[in-house]
Amino acid sequence: MALMITDECINCDVCEPVCPNNAIFEGELIYHIDPNRCTECVGHFDTPQCQELCPVECIPLDPNHRESKQTLLNKYRKLTEKLMT
């Protein structure tokens, strides 16, 4: 699954710079996560870095974007392949 940021977000700016896939971006009121770029840090880290650092724990799994670990790994490979070319 991709992750999502809920309305409890306090715009602390902690999550965005730690995202290895540049999936997190600042919205009008809160930060958001692009599900097409979120791999839950699969391929980069053992745990999602945004979840680890979020002081208000407002980054749950997104039930609208269910993905297996293999799907997340495939997404990671496609994203990093684009960076290498």
* Sequence-ordered list of residues with C-beta below 8 angstroms from that of 44, at least 6 positions apart, any chain: 20, 21, 76
Residue recorded with tokens 């710079």:
17
Distance, CA of 78 to chain centre: 15
Spans in the chain with pLDDT lower than 50: none
> Where are the strands (E) in the chain, listed by range?
24-26, 31-33
Specify the pLDDT at position 1.
77
Taking the C-alpha atoms of residue 59 and residue 51, their distance in angstroms, rounded to an integer, is 6
Structural domains for the chain: 15-84 (3.30.70.20)
Specify the pLDDT at position 29.
94
